[in-house]
């Protein structure tokens, strides 16, 4: 899908809308205790009869992951993600558990969870010790894959998109609880996940620089393999995509869809500007780390950093700037109306973290939070 639209001022660029796909990770919790339960292998075996390879194991057997097919259509993406969720929830119910979309478990398990029994995950447990011992209960994210023509193009897109990702993170915060208590963060997942090597803003690289750095990271012994490059925007090692990895998984499917469409619309604009040779602005990596920390702490309620000047601005204002920046790409994909409607709803209703805290404060019961998440995951 290609159209010509104004991108910056009077400049007109040909906008090619990339494909998109979404990975969502979920917790399995016991239907009675509402604590994480290690039924992943059983639920995956059941769900695979319908979903095949679209459902996968995660680091811990209390978790499960699904991935959508590449698509250009927002409505097709919603329909597939809804089907994937319903199928997983049915398999979970047959195993005596609930499917819950939260960045961290609301209620802690009785004991640390051992890693899923695969050779790679066992090696990760041996290499990374307490980081992988399951005492934090694991984390669940939502990753958006953007189709690119090549790894070189994926890296060029990563270089341009990185100052905008704190706003995406702020929209998606959905993990205020840690070990059964309010963590004080809107996304404790982001803080807990940051213990792993390489988590953070992607470095500015071309293809040769990426190859050299990726090899050096593995050779250093810090990473088992390139699959452990966990930058917030990373090129796939297997297919020509760029993977955006900043979002908590959202119980509310509207939030997942608006994030996927916003990121895809922004990518379309940035790729068009790349093709046209239009220069881009960036922020120093340490400032981006600060912006991501603020997004994890405050969500939409606090401030962020302007992606051009680095000045502090209200996060809601910055999300509006993100929408404006992505507008030509959204228009090219015929997504502009959908995104504005969904974004208005998300901004008015509050983030997933806000809704989790509201569910808790109604009666002071963490079980209510789990039940609300399980219901919203399927609504």
Q: pLDDT tens across 342-354, in order?
A: 999 999 999 999 9
Question: What domains appear along the chain, each with residue ranges and CATH number?
Answer: 14-372 (3.30.590.20)
Q: Are 98 and 370 in contact (CB under 8 A)?
A: yes
Q: Are 63 and 140 in contact (CB under 8 A)?
A: yes
The pLDDT assigned to 241 comes to: 95
The pLDDT assigned to 1 comes to: 46
Q: Are 28 and 141 in contact (CB under 8 A)?
A: no
Q: pLDDT tens across 67-93, in order?
A: 999 999 999 999 999 999 999 999 999
Percentage of the residues of the chain whose pLDDT score is greater than 90: 92
Which position has the token pair 């669940």? 140
The pLDDT assigned to 134 comes to: 86
Average the pLDDT over each of 37-46, 161-170, 232-241 and give the range with the smallest value.
Answer: 232-241
How does strand 141-147 pair with strand 20-30?
antiparallel
- Considering the entire predicted model, what is its pTM? 0.95
355 pLDDT tier (thresholds 50, 70, 90): very high
Q: Are 141 and 248 in contact (CB under 8 A)?
A: yes
Is a pLDDT exceeding 90 seen at residue 379? Answer: no
The pLDDT assigned to 136 comes to: 84
Is a pLDDT exceeding 70 seen at residue 12? Answer: no
Mean pLDDT computed over every residue of the chain: 95
Q: Are 299 and 187 in contact (CB under 8 A)?
A: yes
As a whole number of angstroms, the distance between CA 49 and CA 252 comes to 26
Q: At what angle do helices 315-332 and 336-349 cross, to 10 degrees?
A: 160
Percentage of the residues of the chain whose pLDDT score is greater than 70: 97
Region 341-370: mean pLDDT is: 96
As a whole number of angstroms, the distance between CA 59 and CA 186 comes to 23
Q: Which of 272, 263, 273, 257 is nearest to 241 (CA)?
A: 263
Region 147-172: mean pLDDT is: 97
The pLDDT assigned to 5 comes to: 53
As a whole number of angstroms, the distance between CA 111 and CA 79 comes to 37
Q: pLDDT tens across 172-190, in order?
A: 999 999 999 999 999 999 9
Q: Which of 170, 105, 127, 128 is nearest to 321 (CA)?
A: 170
Number of H helices, E strands in the chain: 13, 13
Region 267-296: mean pLDDT is: 96
The pLDDT assigned to 190 comes to: 98
How does strand 141-147 pair with strand 241-248?
antiparallel
As a whole number of angstroms, the distance between CA 229 and CA 226 comes to 5
2 pLDDT tier (thresholds 50, 70, 90): very low
288 pLDDT tier (thresholds 50, 70, 90): very high
Token pair for 136: 């934090």
Task: List 71's β-bridge partners, or say none.
Answer: 20
Is a pLDDT exceeding 90 seen at residue 63? Answer: yes
Token pair for 227: 């699959």
Question: pLDDT higher for 271 or 281?
Answer: 271
Is a pLDDT exceeding 50 seen at residue 10? Answer: no
Q: What angle do CA 20, 21, 25 make, to 5 degrees?
A: 150
């Amino acid at each position: 899908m290609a159209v010509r639209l104004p991108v910056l001022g009077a400049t007109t660029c040909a906008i090619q809308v990339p494909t998109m796909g979404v990975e969502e990770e979920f917790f399995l919790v016991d239907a009675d205790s509402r604590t994480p339960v290690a039924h992943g292998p059983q639920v995956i075996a059941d769900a695979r009869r319908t979903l095949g390879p679209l459902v996968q194991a995660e680091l811990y057997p209390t978790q499960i992951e699904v991935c959508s097919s590449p698509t250009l259509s927002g409505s097709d993406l919603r329909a597939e993600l809804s089907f994937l969720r319903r199928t997983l929830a049915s398999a979970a119910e047959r195993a005596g558990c609930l499917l819950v979309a939260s960045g961290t478990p609301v209620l802690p398990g009785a004991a640390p969870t051992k890693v899923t029994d695969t050779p790679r995950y066992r090696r990760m447990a041996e290499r990374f010790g307490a980081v992988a011992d399951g005492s934090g209960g694991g984390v669940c994210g939502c990753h958006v894959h953007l189709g690119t023509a090549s790894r070189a193009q994926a890296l060029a897109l990563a270089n341009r998109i990185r100052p905008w990702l704190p706003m995406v993170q702020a929209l998606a915060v959905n993990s205020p609880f840690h070990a059964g208590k309010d963590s004080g963060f809107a996304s404790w997942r982001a803080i807990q996940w940051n213990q792993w090597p390489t988590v953070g803003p992607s470095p500015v690289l071309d293809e040769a620089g990426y190859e050299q750095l990726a090899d050096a990271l593995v050779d250093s012994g810090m990473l088992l393999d390139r699959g452990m490059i966990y930058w917030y925007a990373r090129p796939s090692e297997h297919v020509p995509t760029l993977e955006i990895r900043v979002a908590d998984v959202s119980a509310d499917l509207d939030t997942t869809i608006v994030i996927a469409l916003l990121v895809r619309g922004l990518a379309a604009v940035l790729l068009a500007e790349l093709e046209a040779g239009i220069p881009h602005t960036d922020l120093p990596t340490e400032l981006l780390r600060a912006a991501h920390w603020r997004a994890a702490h405050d969500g939409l309620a606090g401030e962020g950093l302007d992606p051009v000047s680095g000045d502090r601005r209200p996060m809601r204002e910055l999300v509006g700037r993100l929408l404006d920046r992505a507008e030509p790409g959204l228009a090219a994909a015929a997504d502009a109306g959908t995104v504005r409607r969904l974004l208005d709803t998300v901004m008015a209703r509050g983030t997933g973290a806000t809704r989790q805290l509201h569910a808790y404060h109604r009666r002071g019961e963490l079980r209510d939070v789990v039940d609300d998440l399980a219901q919203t995951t399927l609504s």
